Chain A
Amino acid sequence: MAKAKKAVRRTIRCYLCGHRFEVSTRTMSTTCPNCHKPIKVEDLRVKTYLPVNEVQTCGSITITRRGRVAARLIQSGQDITCDGTMEGRVEADGDVTLGSKAAWKGKALQSRTLEVKDGAMLNGQVTVPWVRADR
């Protein structure tokens, strides 16, 4: 007899309106039931140059050593791990880790915790710990 697979779900928080709701762990993008706007849920991995207006996801963001993100806003509902370069405002509901070869320049960096390895470069306003206000 085939075993029924139990649906594994997780709670995410919409980065546009702050509404919390459940999605499947396999979900990559969805529509927020509150603000009805499309949002990303997947984890993002940046390996090369990424110049965009905003990098937003309810998942985590990983920037590899050769990765470079130039954006007005880099926003993650979980953690941000950077071994490359980030330019822009950074907001993370989780932890931000800057590796020894990482560099960040921006107006502000806000996260729950911040870990900076020896050799990393920073330039901007840092606010740690930081908790996003519920709208």
Chain B
Amino acid sequence: MADSSQEFATIIGADARFKGDLKFDSAAKVLGRFEGSISSKGKIYIADGCECKATISAKEVAVEGRIEGNVEAGDRIEIKPTGIVTGDIVAARMTMAEGASINGHCRIGPNGQVPASGRPASTAEAKPTSDSKAPQQQQAQPAKAK
């Protein structure tokens, strides 16, 4: 407990119900129910048992509870085994543990990745160069010399 209070300048307790917009300059820990939007220049920690129907924007986000809404992390997002995220995620880095749940669009990479909106879909659906009709033709091709 002492560690939490030292690490998190703001703690929203487990029995708290909050609706609205919150802005923090430092780290915050949410244990109760929250609706609205949260933005922080520091770290946001969504604890186990917390239900957040909110848009979250922070430098670092750690999810152990449930989030319904988009999450944007400037640096990293960590989804722990009990974490559930229903919404889009944009972050420079992501760590996801086995058992966590995600249902939404993810853009993880340096600078949030993908400058052009249509590029990733077209790139992913690129036509293969080899003859695809040949069954069992899944042999690896030699790597191109750089």
Pick from B103, B108, B121: contact of A127, CB below 8 A.
B103
**Cβ of B102 under 8 Å from chain A:** yes
Are the C-beta atoms of B143 and A66 separated by less than 8 Å? yes
The secondary-structure label for the interface of chain B is loop
Counting contact residues on chain B (CB < 8 A from A), the size range is 35 or more
Are the C-beta atoms of B140 and A120 separated by less than 8 Å? no
The secondary-structure label for the interface of chain A is strand
Pick from B101, B108, B125, B137: contact of A52, CB below 8 A.
B137
A95 contact set on B, CB distance < 8 A: 98
Are the C-beta atoms of B95 and A116 separated by less than 8 Å? yes
Q: 1/0 contact trace for A47-59 toward B, CB 8 Å? A: 1111111110000
B113 contact set on A, CB distance < 8 A: 121, 123
CA distance A51 to B129 in the complex (A): 6
CA distance A113 to B99 in the complex (A): 6
Are the C-beta atoms of A124 and B124 separated by less than 8 Å? yes
**Cβ of B94 under 8 Å from chain A:** yes
- Report the number of A-B residue pairs with Cβ-Cβ less than 8 Å: 112
Q: 1/0 contact trace for A104-135 toward B, CB 8 Å? A: 01110000011111111111111111000000
**Cβ of A13 under 8 Å from chain B:** no
Pick from B123, B135, B136: contact of A87, CB below 8 A.
B123
Q: How far is the CB of A95 from chain B (nearest CB, A)?
A: 7
B144 contact set on A, CB distance < 8 A: 49
Q: How far is the CB of A84 from chain B (nearest CB, A)?
A: 11
Q: How far is the CB of A102 from chain B (nearest CB, A)?
A: 11
Are the C-beta atoms of A48 and B141 separated by less than 8 Å? yes
Could you show 27 A-B contacts with beta carbons less than 8 Å apart?
A40-B138, A48-B142, A50-B140, A50-B141, A51-B126, A51-B128, A51-B141, A52-B132, A53-B128, A66-B143, A87-B123, A87-B124, A89-B124, A95-B98, A106-B124, A107-B121, A113-B100, A115-B97, A116-B95, A121-B109, A122-B107, A123-B107, A124-B106, A125-B104, A126-B105, A127-B103, A129-B101
Binding site for A on B (CB under 8 A): 76, 93-109, 113-114, 120-121, 123-126, 128-130, 132, 135-138, 140-144
Known: A50-B138, A121-B108, A126-B104. 9 other contacts (CB 8 A): A53-B128, A87-B126, A105-B123, A115-B96, A118-B94, A121-B109, A121-B113, A122-B108, A124-B124
